[in-house]
Each structure stands twice: as structure tokens, then as C-alpha cells.
Structure 1
């Protein structure tokens, strides 16, 4: 049940154009200070994982892990996505609560 909640909230954030997906774009938004929360798939490559964790740590962006890239992609109606950045405080806070 919990999974459905965050998945539908992520879909909502996507329709509201409050998130960005794809590794490079996510890193760019972290750098710009626009990312409020980063969701990273557990099946991300170790290279991608390190890059995103390091960026998030440096820019103090919270990061949450989600089961896999398929779920992440499905949630936003796209093909598989390894990383998604939430650009809105409200959505970010609610997602963090659901993913805790």
C-alpha cells in the first residue's frame, strides 16, 4: 500500500512538472540548488550511485532509495529511470514521509 502512495504522488509531481528524471539532468538540478529530494533506484550502477550520493552530500540534498528503475520509470510514465529529482518542497517533504 505504501508503495502505491509514493508512486502516485510521484506521478502527480511529474504532471505538475515538479520533477526531473535522468542521471545528468538530476545532477544538474542538484548543482543548481533546485533539487529538494533525489530518488535513486537500488539497481543503479555503482558509478551512478557514487556520483549522485556525492553530489547530494555536497549540496545537502536528501536522498531516498526506491526498489528499482522500472518502478521509478512507471511512476512518471516513462521507461526505466535510475534517478529522479523532485523540485518542489511540498512534494519532496510528502515523499520523504512516505518513503521513511
Structure 2
């Protein structure tokens, strides 16, 4: 079950439907492009607060997923603590897989 949602993140990234980096994610949340924000469980306190506050204010759903190493591996990048999913279809599927 866990691998399925990681596979979906990888597919979304390859399809160009992901946003990486704190500044880019905040911009996509504010512009209502982000459909789901995934946070690593070991995200720093300030980063987690900033992103969750933005998500709550702009009514963008967010989920705390695996650690940063697992999330980073899913997209083939290193040390990524947050990923914004920009496609509603991918976001809905990932939400359903994470329950």
C-alpha cells in the first residue's frame, strides 16, 4: 500500500505535475495551483509551520507522509521535505492511497 502512493508521486513528478522547494510550493499554494501538499514527517518546525499555515489559510489539503529520505527517493531527488501536487487527479489518488 505504501509503495503505491510513492509510485504515484514519482509518476506525478515525471509528468511535471509537482512543485519542489519551499518558495515554489508557497507560490503555488497562493496561486491555487497546489491541490495537495505532502510533508515529510521529519520536516523542520519552522518549515512545517509555514507550509501548514499557508495550506490552512488557502484551504489546500496537506498530509504528513514518510520521512524526507523516502519522499526524496520517490522523485529521484535528494533532501526534499515537501512536495506540492499540482494535478487534481494525482492528488485525489494519493489521498485515497494514504487514507
Q: Which TM-score band (shorter chain)?
A: over 0.9
Kept after mapping to 2: 8 A contact 1:21/1:83: yes
Any stretches of 5+ residues in structure 2 without a counterpart? none
Quote the offset at 1:19 in angstroms: 0.5
Post-superposition, which runs of at least 4 consecutive aligned residues in structure 1 deviate over 2 A? Answer: none
TM-score, L = length of structure 2 = 0.97
* Alignment RMSD (CA, Å): 0.7
Residues matched between the structures, number: 99
Structure 1 CA distance, aligned partners of 2:77 and 2:29?
A: 21
Structure 1 CA distance, aligned partners of 2:83 and 2:44?
A: 15
Trace 1:68-83 onto structure 2 (pairs within 5 A).
Answer: 68-83=67-82
Structure-1 residue corresponding to 2:13:
14
TM-score, L = length of structure 1 = 0.96
Any stretches of 5+ residues in structure 1 without a counterpart? none
Kept after mapping to 2: 8 A contact 1:41/1:69: yes
